[in-house]
Amino acid sequence: MKKISQLLLLAAGLLLLDACGPKPQYKTAEGKRKLKYYNSVQYEQPQPKP
């Protein structure tokens, strides 16, 4: 019983550490701004440069 509880605690700790990683760039404010600019350049929709 003690080993099972330790294993579950370790698994929960690993899941929490994995969730605390850095955000991908497309989810940040700067990444969204850049994506909007690059899409406007690629699809030729005129927008002012940031």
- CA dist., res. 20 & res. 18, Å (int): 5
CA dihedral 6, 10, 13, 14 (to 10 degrees): -170
Q: What is the mean pLDDT of residues 35-39?
A: 91
DSSP, collapsed to helix, strand or coil, labels residue 17 as: helix
Is it the case that residue 35 has pLDDT exceeding 80? yes
Is it the case that residue 5 has pLDDT exceeding 90? no
CB contact at 8 A, 20 and 33:
no
Is it the case that residue 7 has pLDDT exceeding 80? yes
Q: Is the pTM of this model over 0.75?
A: no
